[in-house]
Structure formats: C-alpha cells, structure tokens
C-alpha cells in the first residue's frame, strides 16, 4: 500500500467490545494484519473543494494511490459538540458552513451515502463514553471539500464523528485507540482541520 509522507498513523491498540452489527456489515471481509491508514489533512480554504491546485491534486493522488476503502470516517474541525456524536443517516446532506465565497462553491453537492450500520458499530466500539447517533448534521466542508477530490464518484459511504469541545486531547486520543479496529475492516479514518483553525479569534490589527 503506497502512503504519502504526511500520512500519520494513530496508535492501534486492542479494542474491547463486540463487533456485532459491524461484523455482519463487513461479512464479505476477512480481518487481516493490514490496516487502512489514518490521515490528518489540513483542508485549508473551502475553495480547495472546487479548485484544481496543489492541495486538491494531492488529495486526488491519495484517492488513487491508497487501497479503496469500504467506508470513510471523518473527524472534522467544523463539527464541535457537547458530547460525542456520529452521523447516522442514509443520505447525509452537503453542509455549506461558510460565507463570502462564490456561488459556485455553494452549488456543490457531494451525495455520498451514509451508513447507519457503521455509525451504530462506531458507537458500540467506543466504551469510554456514550456516543449519540446524529440524524441532523451531514457532511460539513471539512469533510466534503477533501473527500470529493479523493472519491469524486461519491460511491463510498462517509460518516462523521464530532469533536467534544468540553474534553481535552487525551479524551480524543482514547477514542482513536478504540476506533482502531475499524482500520482492519477497510475503513479510512481522516482527521480534517489545521493546528490553528478558528480564524474568528485572529486579531488582524496585530
């Protein structure tokens, strides 16, 4: 499996708990020592979702060079919740959570399917906290601007896991270890954001 130098693999670990519904969901797969990579991608400006530039070209190359996943799980910097949620709808909407950009960007729809079974098993895998099944969110621009370049046919299920803004980094690191089992089942996990992300907090006068 080819991997880019900026791909970071989050720690594996043994995940306790039943694989129940997810084993049925992926009954055509056999678990192996091979794992899908875990990616952290700085998605940058929403315009990267429609522009043909160095960023979007790298995402396109990832989509063709990596083994095709059975599903994609995205943790986006744009979905902050009090508690942890995972999207659990058949057809997640494309969220245009930005302003001041060309209409062309607002017109984009990325109709990738969701996966209720995968969302449920993601909830069940996480034992350190209760995870809610969300039916309202969809795919924000931290997810679709990247994934639409990787998988332009929108034929691979995509779900999102939220970031609990009330918890420290150690809490989310523990979640990552629990989710490691998904990687052996063909699920590509993507963290999408930047190290510094909230532009509203910038003092432009400095």
What is the reported pLDDT for 98?
80
Give Cβ neighbours of residue 130 (< 8 Å, ≥ 6 apart): 83, 84
Q: How confident is the model at residue 32 (pLDDT cuts 50, 70, 90)?
A: low
Q: Indicate the pTM of the whole model.
A: 0.78
DSSP state of 76: E
pLDDT in tens, 137-147: 999 988 989 99
pLDDT at 31: 57
The token pair that represents 58 in the structure block: 């790298």
Mean pLDDT over 25-40 rounds to 66
Residue partners of 120: CB distance under 8 A and separation at least 6: 21, 22, 88, 133
Percentage of residues of the chain with pLDDT beyond 70: 79
CA 115, CA 182: separation in Å to the nearest integer? 14
Spatial contact of 189 and 182, defined as CB atoms under 8 Å apart: yes
Q: Where are the domains positioned within the chain?
A: 42-195
7-11, 19-23, 194-198 — most confident range? 194-198
For residue 27, what are its two tokens? 């009954």
Number of other residues whose CB lies within 10 A of the CB of residue 125: 21
Q: What percent of the chain has pLDDT over 90?
A: 57
Range of weakest confidence among 51-60, 67-76, 184-193: 51-60
Position 43 confidence tier, pLDDT thresholds 50, 70, 90: confident
pLDDT band at 52 (very low <50, low <70, confident <90, very high): confident
Contact at 8 Å (CB) between 130 and 99? Answer: no
Alpha carbon 175 to its chain centroid, in Å, reads: 14
Predicted pLDDT at 42: 82
- For 42-195, the fitting CATH number among 3.10.20.90, 3.40.830.10, 3.40.50.300, 3.30.565.10 is 3.40.830.10
**Residue ranges in 101-187 assigned as alpha helix (H):** 103-106, 116-125, 141-150, 169-178, 180-183
What CA dihedral angle connects 73, 76, 80 and 82, to 10 degrees? Answer: 20
Cβ contacts of 117 within 8 Å, gap of 6 or more: 21, 22, 24, 25
Specify the 3-state DSSP secondary structure of 105.
Answer: helix
């Amino acid at each position: 499996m080819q991997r880019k130098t900026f791909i970071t693999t989050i720690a594996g670990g043994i995940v306790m708990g039943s694989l129940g519904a997810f084993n049925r969901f992926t009954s055509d797969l056999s678990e192996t020592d091979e794992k899908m990579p875990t990616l952290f991608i700085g998605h940058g400006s929403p315009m990267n979702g429609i522009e043909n530039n160095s960023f979007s070209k790298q995402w396109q190359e990832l989509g063709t060079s990596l083994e095709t996943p059975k599903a994609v799980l995205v943790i986006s910097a744009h979905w902050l919740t009090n508690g942890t949620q995972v999207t659990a709808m058949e057809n997640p909407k494309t969220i245009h959570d930005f302003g001041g950009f060309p209409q062309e960007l607002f017109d984009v729809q990325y109709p990738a399917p969701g996966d209720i079974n995968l969302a449920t098993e993601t909830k069940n895998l996480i034992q350190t906290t209760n995870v809610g099944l969300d039916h309202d969110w969809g795919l924000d621009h931290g997810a679709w601007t990247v994934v639409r370049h990787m998988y332009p046919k929108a034929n691979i299920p995509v779900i999102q896991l939220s970031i609990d803004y009330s918890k420290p980094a150690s809490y989310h690191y523990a979640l990552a270890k629990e989710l490691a089992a998904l990687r052996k089942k063909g699920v590509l996990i993507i963290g999408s954001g930047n190290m510094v992300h909230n532009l509203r907090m910038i003092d432009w006068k400095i």
